Structure 1
Amino acid sequence: MKIKKSLLLFLFLIIPFIKPAEYILDPYVDSFIDAWKVCASLIAIYMYIKKSELSPFIIFMSLYQISIVIPTAVNNIHNIRGPVVIMLSNISFAMIAELGIKHYKREFLSAMSIFGGLMCLIMAVTMFIYYPEGMDQKEFMDLLGDRNYYFLGHDNGSFFIVFAIQVFSIINCLDKKGRLTAGTVLFWLFVDGAYIYVRSGAAVTAIILLWLYLLFFYKKNISDIFNFRTYIAAVLCLFFSVVVFRLHVYFPFIVENVFHKNMTLSGRTVIWDRAFVYIKRSPLIGYGQEEMTVLLEKFGISHVHNIFLEILYKSGIVGLALYSVIVCLIAKKLMACRGNRINDFTAFALFLFYLISMVDYYESKYVIYGMIVLAYNMPYLIGGSEAVPAGEKGREQSL
């Protein structure tokens, strides 16, 4: 079987962005992969400029990333390297994804499914083998309680990577076969089973909801009621009811017996209270990406465990406004294509991403931006034009 050069190209481009946790790699290997990522990024930027016009999504995503770097430079110029690397990596991977979806859809989705799936498989195996001790623990993690590390990182953080790759894999299967195959289902049941085995709370919630959707709803047209707009409304309601007003305290049975958390949600409400205090002190541009020692001193942890608070803390109202534009751009495309199976599945997957981001969020998980790019480029993904009318072409392809 002849392997397309474009498939090999996208494997070359994505491999350095989905690497094992740093503690697993030899320092020289880690440095080599970082150099590879720089090379892949430059190639991706060159190809993107040559073949595509700069999309509004890439423009506003870049502005949002810059809104994190600027306050970092203002507060501590010596800490600028890390945020700049994250910014360029996020933008580069988004360009790779957009380039792939627009011009090499099959090859890009296949590359993500093949290599990403391999990494997820290894991650799942290490979780089954090394739970509960994990493969490693960093010393500073003692301040945060027990947090075990596996092949792609600790369970909660790594799930963002695994979840995004799972979305790519399922979309690849739907795009090629028009249905979910037994192999795809069994593979991801095994991977998801590892997160259930280690009892990763947010991951288990997303996994259960994802499979319920695939089992009962993905073949049905429910997009008139359940669509990206209603999903975002639900996420905002959850944010205000739990993070802001703490209404979960009125439902202790659900919190303690269903989610197996205490009423502080494993300390998250304490972290959120501290985040609100600091956000009020610098509401416009935030604090940028601070060093680990500063974050540990402020919060006792490396991040504030909520996507909206994280955005406000790092980039202020400016960053939140830019990110809101990104969400609006995505919503416009997903609503225009609603009724198509791939479109509706992607919308639900993004809902699950924002749902688990209510209690955990990591800006440096580059693959997540690739998943968001899928949503923005939905007309290309489902094979239509930019003007796919709601209820017509989308619903026709779902039959």
Structure 2
Amino acid sequence: MYKNTVFSNDIVLLLFIIPLFTPQSLSLLFGGILEKGFLLWNIMNFFILFFIFLITIKTKKKYTWSFILFWLVYLVCSISVTSDFIKTLNTWIGTAVPIINFALLGNLLIKYSHQKFVVVINKYLTFLLTLNLLLLFIFPQGVVKLQHVFIDGRIADSFKRVNFMATDNTIVQFLIITILFVEIRNYLYKDNNLQRKLVWMISGLTIIILWSGTGLIGYSVFLISATLFLFPKFKKIPLSINMVYIIGLVAFLVIVVLRLQTVFEFIIVKLLKKDISLSSRTEIWDIAYSMFLKSPFIGFGNNSKGWLIEYNWYNYYAHNLILDILLQGGVIVLIGVVLILNYSRMTLRKQPDKYLESLFACCILAIFTLNITESQFLSIYFYIPFILAWLLSTYNPKKLSI
């Protein structure tokens, strides 16, 4: 069906893929003008993809519509509590549009051209991964520096290193998604090519160079689970997606609610050289709890991208996925996230190929681990595994023509 459409051309397809993965450093380079260009690019692509989505028949659209509805509900919650409608809308567009675009593009292509969709994204992410590593050597202090700003507007002397793709703590999700795509490519072609080995090696080297505690833990969880459940020697042992969701919930209760991180004191203090408060995250969580109680249903909006917590004269985000969602959108938005993630779980659970279920289970386990002490609620990298899990389970590649 798609052989004679514009999507059959790799260059045209890249025009829809490139703006989805906007490097974070572009938000600070040249006054952010490049980031604005990518935003306009995404908006233009949205109208094209949404129009094609509306007129296309014989595709299952329920999950994609649920994503669109979810982000509209989130927008309504944010608008209802903001005093700056324009800023809130601009922030929402920058967040929601790339995520919706990925869902639209995947839904339009994966049934008829699943290999092209996976391979082109895989090649582009591998290019970004390699470029990011190269720039790490050229700019060891970061491509740009993000300076901390006091609540009263004063600029602090300290700064955060922003690598080409993201900061030290947040880049690991980009690495995991890049690995996910190269593993899906290997799943489709069964060729175990050189690119697969290079992606794992470059990702590991990147983590070692940055030496972020969050990154090390997230990458290690993915590597260990992949070794046990994916690689040839052990791949007959499946990892259930249900078990991963249970582990994610238990980890939240144990560490964020019950504060039993002392169980992992050896890893946190001895190996990662961090303090038992998880770099003051426990204090930030306490503030997040108290703020949530002030607006439990619709939160405090998104015009600050979640940086709503005042602590030690700085603004912080909640440093936990669930708390971040509750602060920005309250219980209403949290319910929406739970429904979306649970739908992906149910669809993937019915996946007849247990290797594919294990692949996504390993990826999602790593992402859940990362989001205990960070939050990627507004990042496209958080949603990609859940969208792909639904796409590849709904349009089973084993039943599609190769």
Post-superposition shift, 1:196?
1.6
Tell me which moved more, 55-64 or 368-377: 55-64
Tell me which moved more, 289-298 or 241-250: 289-298
| Contact 1:67 1:285 (8 Å CA) reproduced | no
Q: Could you state the TM-score of these two structures normalised by the residue count of structure 1?
A: 0.86
Q: Are 2:310 and 1:276 aligned?
A: no
Question: Which residue identity is paired with 1:279?
Answer: F
Q: 1:99 aligns with which of 99, 108, 117?
A: 108
Q: Are 2:14 and 1:14 aligned?
A: no
Post-superposition shift, 1:117?
1.4
Partner of 1:349: 363
Q: Are 2:48 and 1:43 aligned?
A: yes
Deviations 1:241-272 (A, max 9, x none): 10001011354333211332201101111111
Q: 2:310 aligns with which of 285, 297, 310?
A: 297
Post-superposition shift, 1:305?
0.9
Q: 1:140 aligns with which of 148, 163, 167?
A: 148
Corresponding residue SS for 2:170: helix
Deviations 1:324-378 (A, max 9, x none): 1112211111111154322310121011111111111133322432332111123
Deviations 1:90-137 (A, max 9, x none): 212221223232232111111211112111111122223333x22221
* Number of residue pairs the alignment of both structures matches: 380
Q: Summarize the Cα distance change of 1:254–1:379 in structure 2 as closer, same or farther, 3 Å threshold.
A: closer
Q: Could you state the TM-score of these two structures normalised by the residue count of structure 2?
A: 0.86
Partner of 2:3: none
**Counterparts of 1:381 and 1:114 in 2: how far apart (Å)?**
22
**Counterparts of 1:253 and 1:378 in 2: how far apart (Å)?**
39
**Counterparts of 1:235 and 1:317 in 2: how far apart (Å)?**
19
Tell me which moved more, 38-47 or 59-68: 59-68
| Contact 2:307 2:315 (8 Å CA) reproduced | no
Q: Are 2:69 and 1:63 aligned?
A: yes
Tell me which moved more, 133-142 or 328-337: 133-142
**Counterparts of 1:62 and 1:74 in 2: how far apart (Å)?**
19
Partner of 1:206: 218
Question: Which residue identity is paired with 1:82?
Answer: N
| Contact 1:210 1:349 (8 Å CA) reproduced | yes
**Counterparts of 2:277 and 2:109 in 1: how far apart (Å)?**
43
Post-superposition shift, 1:171?
0.8
| Contact 2:317 2:324 (8 Å CA) reproduced | yes
Uncovered stretches (5+) of structure 2, i.e. residues with no partner: 1-5, 150-154
**Counterparts of 1:303 and 1:144 in 2: how far apart (Å)?**
20
Paired residues for 1:203-282 under 5 Å: 203-218=215-230, 219=232, 220-223=235-238, 226-282=239-295
Question: Which residue identity is paired with 1:113?
Answer: N
**Counterparts of 2:353 and 2:248 in 1: how far apart (Å)?**
21
Corresponding residue SS for 1:297: strand
Deviations 1:128-187 (A, max 9, x none): 3333x22221222676965211111212223222322221122112212x2532331123
Identity of aligned residues (%): 18
**Counterparts of 1:265 and 1:381 in 2: how far apart (Å)?**
41
| Contact 1:229 1:331 (8 Å CA) reproduced | yes
Tell me which moved more, 286-295 or 348-357: 286-295
State the Cα RMSD in Å.
2.7
Post-superposition shift, 1:232?
0.8
Q: Summarize the Cα distance change of 1:263–1:317 in structure 2 as closer, same or farther, 3 Å threshold.
A: same
Post-superposition shift, 1:30?
3.8
Q: Are 2:135 and 1:126 aligned?
A: yes
Q: Are 2:117 and 1:80 aligned?
A: no
**Counterparts of 1:51 and 1:14 in 2: how far apart (Å)?**
20
Question: Which residue identity is paired with 2:128?
Answer: M
Q: Are 2:326 and 1:320 aligned?
A: no
| Contact 1:286 1:312 (8 Å CA) reproduced | yes
